[in-house]
Structure 1
Amino acid sequence: MSATPGPDPRRARARRWAGVALVLVLGGLGIAVFVTAITPHGSSQVIAPSTRATEVPTVADVIYVHILGQVMRPGLYELHDGDRAVDAVAAAGGFTQTADPGGLNLARLVSDGEQIVVPAVGEVPAAGSASVPGKVNLNTADAAALDTLPGVGPATAAKIIAWRQQNGRFSSVEDLLDVGGIGQSKFESLRDLVTV
């Protein structure tokens, strides 16, 4: 009578390792499914920041912009002088799926202390994002906003925008005196209605 061979220890060890590997793979898949389930979904649009020459910012170049409304992470963001609204949206993680990207001029320059509200689709956009309520911001206003000022028509509004494009941001309200067609008397009528 021949002896029956016992279980091969190598096979038993291989089966054990295969079982451990299977448990690890299934555990990893379970974690992946869990993470996917708790991660917010939707067709949020992430906006890439504008491309500017890379430069080391100085303290004077740092500005703070408060962005809220239909962005992924509303809040206060540190940007750089010369950044645009697209940079603020990108810093806040991009638009939510309910945002109306057309309700915001992404190309406009932002200013220190500004608040930007991104509207939802169908929502009326906030009237300007001036840093001082009730005043027209010379650095961000478009021709229509400038045209609301007394004594400023389409031609003067175009000159203000052209000056801004040629010289950069207005550093003070008094810079208006450098714009062609704005003399001392017109400046005095605008001084308390504008901000930078």
Structure 2
Amino acid sequence: MKNWWIVVLGVIFGLLGAGIIYLASQPPRGNPIALLPPPTPIPFQVHISGAVINPGVHALPPGSRVQDAIEAAGGFTPQADSSGLNLAALLEDGTRVLVPSQIPTATPAPTREPNPQSPQNQNPTSIPAATSSTPLININTASQPELETLSGIGPATALKIIAFRQENGYFSSIEEIQKVSGIGPATFEKIKAFITVDEQP
């Protein structure tokens, strides 16, 4: 009886071993399952301009923010004004980031009260009024140096005055000096308060 169980167990184990050998010798069925690596993220392009060290188009990975774009451009320049930028904003492909520059505040120039004694504040066409202490120049008897002290009268004009009175006699009025070549109404207005044809007391 005992030998019979041994024979039965031997047959069972023999069948199991034969089945395993058969299955192992069969070619695999279907396509093998391959484990693929995760896809590589494709970077996108962002245009960074304004007050950054390296402005231009930079490639950034998906999920980048404005702060990442600034760092890709080398950071802010000293003149950059980042107060209006949202550094945490997400970026998309083709986004442009403009970093503005600070606007310098103009410092007003100090003002000074005008100096009435300064030549720039004096009217060049104004004629100083004659005072009682200012001696009048007699155009009938004045020498060339005396005539040249008058405004607008140079050496040539002074000689013309002397030549005119030598040829035509003394001036009967100060207005007649305008008959001298080179002395017009403008020059006469400058000198009329300083000339005379009468002898001074």
TM bucket (normalised to shorter chain) is: 0.3 to 0.5
**Larger % of helix: which?**
1
Structure 1-normalised TM-score? Answer: 0.32
Q: How high is the TM-score relative to the length of structure 2?
A: 0.31
